[in-house]
Amino acid sequence: MKRIVIVGGGFSGVYAAQALERLLRRDDQVEILLFARDNYFVFQPMLPEVISGTIGLTDVVSPLRRLLKRTHVHAREVESVDIDHQAIMVAPGFRPHAHVVKYDHLVLAPGTVTDFRGLPGLPEHALPFKDLGHALEVRSRVIRALEEADVEDDDPELRRQLLTFVVAGGGFSGVEVAAELNDFVRSVARHYRRIDPKEIRVVLVHAGDEILPEVAPKLRAFAAKILRRRGVELVLRQRLKAATGESAILGDGTVIPTKTLVSTIPSSPHPLIDALTLPKTKNGRLQVDGQLRVSGFDNVWALGDCASVPTKDGTPCPPTAQHATRQAKVAAENIVATLTKTPLRTFDFKGLGKMGSLGRRNAVAEVFGLRLSGFIAWFLWRSIYLSKLPGWGRRIKVATAWTLDLILEPELVELRLGGTGGAMHEHFEPGQLVFSQGEIGDRVYILLSGEAEVVRTPGDGTGDRILAKLGAGECFGEMALLDSAPRNASVRCVRAMTVLSIPKREFGLLAANVPGLRASFEQVTARRVLPAKPEASPPQ
Amino acid sequence: MKRIVIVGGGFSGVYAAQALERLLRRDDQVEILLFARDNYFVFQPMLPEVISGTIGLTDVVSPLRRLLKRTHVHAREVESVDIDHQAIMVAPGFRPHAHVVKYDHLVLAPGTVTDFRGLPGLPEHALPFKDLGHALEVRSRVIRALEEADVEDDDPELRRQLLTFVVAGGGFSGVEVAAELNDFVRSVARHYRRIDPKEIRVVLVHAGDEILPEVAPKLRAFAAKILRRRGVELVLRQRLKAATGESAILGDGTVIPTKTLVSTIPSSPHPLIDALTLPKTKNGRLQVDGQLRVSGFDNVWALGDCASVPTKDGTPCPPTAQHATRQAKVAAENIVATLTKTPLRTFDFKGLGKMGSLGRRNAVAEVFGLRLSGFIAWFLWRSIYLSKLPGWGRRIKVATAWTLDLILEPELVELRLGGTGGAMHEHFEPGQLVFSQGEIGDRVYILLSGEAEVVRTPGDGTGDRILAKLGAGECFGEMALLDSAPRNASVRCVRAMTVLSIPKREFGLLAANVPGLRASFEQVTARRVLPAKPEASPPQ
């Protein structure tokens, strides 16, 4: 009995499993296992439509079990790969015990991740746009921001943050997200009577001179024109450098106030691939040969975005679905050929074209040697992707949803995801307030790096006084929580800082039950309440 | 300018706002404010259909702004009501400052809550079934359980827990949830090749002699017969007494192993109503007069499930949507009558009937003096509720989804909600393992009440040894987390206990940054590693 293990439930992994199922139809001596984090396959091209809810929230995904009748699907994350022992380690499920799965052939297809490491504040405050969870989260944040802006009519700064939506990355993915988000927010805003459409800003930040570098210059200009006409601001030749809970900070220091920041870049190797000591290109993709074997191995295969697949003209394949699905087919055939000791095939595919949606009834496309834009490109986009959706059921649902969307208004329901959340990191930039005097305490903070100052504004109009400076290791904000009183001072960032912020509920649970934690905070409080000098004294 | 404040976004609150909008169409001297936790109205009768995904996940809810064109909708929770000062206190949003909103007329309609307090383990481990979040959570848990069971084929006890689904409460709500859950789990189970349909148990626990006490005895018997035929086990004359993360415990001590426990009971007053010192019935509902005024006030109105509304024959209204919507209309008319100083109307409505769905193509109904069951009752159920759905868009969507459901297979996509979660309470019963030797450490625990023992199973087959007893205040499980090693012993509950469990990620963040916390755990560890007597020594 031979075992083929596929890691990854995207285009490449799923299509490889399907091809293997077909090729091994009559062979019961080979089992196929597929490991994916989620139990569904995401049809990436339609993911941005989840933001507006044009199609049903789960129409863009297909259950893996529905697509793969014979493959044994494990909805579990793979934690590591041990090439020497021909095994993978699988994350535990309900019962936390380790799973080791041996393989005869391994297909690596976990794709890439959006990795914000090294960009201050992005891991905490920016959202990637890779899977269904991200799309639902963007949707929820946008609706939440509108709801809040409708109520908060007395704080212009907060309204600016709430009503500005920033997308970073001007490739296909970023452009489609920006277009969809812009259409959605502008079409539903009229239901919020205290929001003036002019207050809404949708900003697309792109490092290059033109958006959509993937397509011909004429189409780039067309896309830019359409987006601008619909109200998207294009900020070009700029990179996202940092983020806080209330702003996006660009390379030249420009601060865009926003509570909703989506970034489709940078694309980095999947941690699983990153941890492997296999031959890689300098951008971290696995080096494979024309037969899709990882260089030096005859039972380890890599495909999709995690691999650098050579084409006949020597250039590597671009990371697109059309290439991934063709690679999957070749890899499956070659695995079977290896098992049956027949000659292997060499991958060769030039690509059929490129398409990008610009939102309602508009798109750009380069297909069959033609450059199309506008309604016809959009119609082509819908037709082609609809036909590529896996399964008739899914196609009928999406076609129905698109039809209903012509006559019905967009959805506005805010699904609350993520629950209460626990302790987390937050990033602040100089000048930014962590909290203001008079607010209700809802979190405590531990300063991990950087510097802050405690400021009190007396009621007598004598001007702000700086009560204390805070450095790494100090905690603040605990008094308001312990006393349930409003914050008695503001805390303002002086040097860019990272803090650990613990929500009230969490802190309450821990402080009530961990003696050391309570003591730790009480010490700090005591030190501040009985200060040596009056001006280095009681904060929050 | 007069202000009417409505608290609650259910049937009573929304229909009151709609009635007020109609009555005050030509009056711009009155503003209507509605406060609801979510930005949508839940059409409760169809909520169980979310479990199976028969209708789209958000088809069962309607955005409040879409329903209420003139009312100012605040998607914020109300924290308290100050009757003396005619004001409500609203929970803070993004900026944590308090909101106080004054009113001229107050309409209280927050409904009821499912309150598990006093039932050990239920607050931590049982799910209520009141809103969209609960329905989505039940759906996710069911799919997750199937996914896990398909993989965990070497642990029969865990499989039993995963494949048993328990619903408590045999009224309309509990019966509909059990029927829908049963249909769903049995129809999708065949996609899981390692799950034998016979392993699946769906259990409905009910305190009375017969389910559906609301309807005539003949219909009760019919419903019981249908549910049993479809594979639902009815456990009658039993109450849910306690729960753990892996079992439901009944009044007579019966333990049903399960990872999915839904309870539609007990129904308790909303905390907002609970905190008010207004005249109430002994079950905590607000006492109102026939004009829907809270006794003793002429500008405080209460309706829906939170109020005890007298009917002409003296009995209080049952807590149903049909009564709530009629009350809403009368309350709205009476508020306008009070403003215009015209005579008030008295509420009188007998109810049109009762209907309960039993899942696919089956239902019971008492309408127009008839008692119906089977397909005709089900057809009536669908027709009536479809016509009651607010808005044409919604009706078209649901009708379309129902039609597609006839030809397409049910959805299987598991939406991951709730994210990582933070520190939380867990309940354990005597004999239950908190974790087992050899497992991977994923949480630390602080014992809040009860007692546990630390057990080691040596590799030499000499039998288990009890290493230590743990009492309140002690923490355990930290060594596996600090060392990233497998658990070196098991911890078993001796006396029923509540623990605070802190996930690895959370604990790591806190231990790295709060000196007191680290010290606290290190002390415990040191004490155990260097024990006075060898048998009272090193655990986990």
Domain boundaries, chain A: 2-37+76-112+268-340, 122-265+355-407, 424-536
d(CA B336, CA B329): 11
CB burial of residue B124 (10 Å; 0-12, 13-18, 19+): middle
d(CA B256, CA A62): 33
Q: Which of A162, A411, A517 sits opposite B520 (nearest CB)?
A: A517
Three-point CA angle A195, A197, A202, nearest 5°: 110
d(CA B421, CA B137): 14
What is the DSSP secondary structure assignment for residue A296, as one 8-state letter?
T
- Looking at residue B530, its pLDDT comes to 43
d(CA B338, CA B289): 15
Answer whether B422 sits within 8 Å of A519, measured CB to CB.
no
Answer whether B191 sits within 8 Å of A409, measured CB to CB.
no
Q: Summarize pLDDT for B205-225 with one digit per residue, the tens.
A: 999 999 999 999 999 999 999
Contact A292, A301 (CB under 8 A): yes
Residue B536 has pLDDT above 60, yes or no: no
Q: Summarize pLDDT for B306-361 with one digit per residue, the tens.
A: 999 998 888 899 999 999 999 999 999 999 999 999 999 999 998 889 999 998 88
Residue A439: list chain B partners with CB under 8 A. Answer: 92, 95-97
Q: A298 is written with which tokens?
A: 């005859």
Contact A36, A73 (CB under 8 A): yes
Question: Residue B48, preceding bond cis, omega within 30 degrees?
Answer: no
Contact B399, B386 (CB under 8 A): yes
pTM of the predicted protein model: 0.88
The helix (H) or strand (E) run that includes residue B82 is strand B78-82
Question: In angstroms, what separates the C-alpha of A104 from chain B's closest C-alpha?
Answer: 20
Q: B384 is written with which tokens?
A: 């009536």
pLDDT, mean over chain B? 89
Q: B533 is written with which tokens?
A: 């007597």
pLDDT band, residue B454 (cuts 50/70/90): very high
Q: Which of A73, A397, A418 sits opposite B419 (nearest CB)?
A: A418
Three-point CA angle B87, B91, B93, nearest 5°: 130
- Of chain A, the end-to-end C-alpha distance in Å amounts to 67
One-letter identity of residue B267: S
pLDDT band, residue A509 (cuts 50/70/90): confident
Burial B157-189 (b: 16+ CB within 10 A, else e): ebbbbbbbbbbbbbbbbbbbbbbbbbbbbbebb
Across the range B49-75, mean pLDDT stands at: 88
Three-point CA angle A262, A267, A270, nearest 5°: 115
Answer whether A439 sits within 8 Å of B162, measured CB to CB.
no
Name the closest residue on chain B to residue A140, using Cα atoms: B39
Listed in sequence order, the DSSP H helices in A241-374 are 271-274, 321-340
Domain spanning A2-37+76-112+268-340: CATH superfamily? FAD/NAD(P)-binding domain (3.50.50.60)
- Looking at residue A170, its pLDDT comes to 95
The residues, ordered by sequence, that sit 6+ positions from B380 with a Cβ below 8 Å of its Cβ are B355, B363, B365, B367, B372
The helix (H) or strand (E) run that includes residue B80 is strand B78-82
Residue B38: list chain A partners with CB under 8 A. Answer: 414, 416
Please tell me the class of the A122-265+355-407 domain: alpha beta
Query: What is the 3-state secondary structure of B55-108?
Result: CCCCCCEEEHHHHCCCCEEECCCEEEEECCCCEEEECCCCCCCCEEEECCEEEE
Q: Tell which residue, A511, A454, A461, has the closest CA to residue A481.
A: A511
Q: Please tell me which residue, A208 or A424, carries the higher pLDDT value.
A: A208
Which residue out of A514, A517, A525 would a mutagenesis test of the B interface target, given it has the greatest number of B Cβ atoms within 10 Å? A514
Question: B456 φ, ψ to 5°?
Answer: -115, 135
Question: A166 φ, ψ to 5°?
Answer: -115, 130
Contact B355, B337 (CB under 8 A): no
Question: In angstroms, what separates the C-alpha of A445 from chain B's closest C-alpha?
Answer: 11
Name the closest residue on chain B to residue A516, using Cα atoms: B516
pLDDT band, residue B260 (cuts 50/70/90): very high
Residue B56: list chain A partners with CB under 8 A. Answer: 56-57
Is it true that B2-37+76-113+268-340 and B122-265+355-407 share their CATH fold? yes
pLDDT, mean over chain A? 89
d(CA B300, CA B104): 9
Q: A409 is written with which tokens?
A: 């208004």
d(CA B494, CA B451): 5
Question: In angstroms, what separates the C-alpha of B434 from chain A's closest C-alpha?
Answer: 11
Residue A437 has pLDDT above 70, yes or no: yes
Ranked by mean pLDDT, the top range of A524-538, B111-125, B512-526 is B111-125
CA B151 to mean position of chain CA atoms: 28
Q: What is the CA radius of gyration of chain A?
A: 26
Cα torsion for A392, A394, A395, A398, to the nearest 10°? Answer: 160
- Counting DSSP H helices and E strands in chain B, the numbers are 15, 30
- Looking at residue B472, its pLDDT comes to 86
A444 Ramachandran zone, left/alpha/beta (phi>0; psi -120 to 50): beta
* A-B Cβ pairs (cutoff 8 Å, strict): 234
Domain spanning A424-536: CATH superfamily? Jelly Rolls (2.60.120.10)
- Looking at residue A13, its pLDDT comes to 97
DSSP reduced 3-state for A142:
helix
- Looking at residue B478, its pLDDT comes to 81
Residue A536 has pLDDT above 70, yes or no: no
Answer whether B423 sits within 8 Å of A76, measured CB to CB.
no
Name the closest residue on chain A to residue B97, using Cα atoms: A439
Across the range B39-49, mean pLDDT stands at: 93
Q: B359 is written with which tokens?
A: 């899942």
Three-point CA angle B320, B323, B327, nearest 5°: 135
Task: List the beta bridge partners of residue B441.
Answer: none
What is the DSSP secondary structure assignment for residue B127, as one 8-state letter?
B
Three-point CA angle A306, A356, A406, nearest 5°: 125
ipTM of the complex as predicted = 0.85
Contact A414, B40 (CB under 8 A): yes
Q: Summarize pLDDT for A30-50 with one digit per residue, the tens.
A: 999 999 999 999 999 999 999
Residue B402 has pLDDT above 50, yes or no: yes
Name the closest residue on chain A to residue B394, using Cα atoms: A408
Contact A292, A324 (CB under 8 A): no
Ranked by mean pLDDT, the top range of A90-99, A223-232, A459-468 is A223-232
pLDDT band, residue B535 (cuts 50/70/90): very low
Q: DSSP letters of B240-291?
A: EEEEETTEEEETTS-EEE-SEEEE---EEE-HHHHT--S-B-TTSPEEB-TT
Answer whether A448 sits within 8 Å of B421, measured CB to CB.
no
Q: Summarize pLDDT for A356-384 with one digit per residue, the tens.
A: 999 888 999 998 889 999 999 999 999 99
Pick the CATH number of B2-37+76-113+268-340 from 3.50.50.60, 3.40.50.12640, 3.30.565.10, 3.90.1170.50: 3.50.50.60
Q: Tell which residue, B123, B59, B81, B136, has the closest CA to residue B402.
A: B59
Residue A267 has pLDDT above 60, yes or no: yes
Contact B31, B374 (CB under 8 A): no
Ranked by mean pLDDT, the top range of A309-323, A383-397, A400-414, B14-28 is B14-28
| Least confident span in A351-360, B414-423, B428-437, B512-521 | B414-423
Answer whether A510 sits within 8 Å of B521, measured CB to CB.
no
Contact A246, A257 (CB under 8 A): yes
d(CA A150, CA A128): 26
Answer whether B420 sits within 8 Å of A422, measured CB to CB.
yes
The residues, ordered by sequence, that sit 6+ positions from B54 with a Cβ below 8 Å of its Cβ are B401, B402, B405, B410
Q: Please tell me which residue, B517 or B45, carries the higher pLDDT value.
A: B45
Q: A97 is written with which tokens?
A: 């015990």
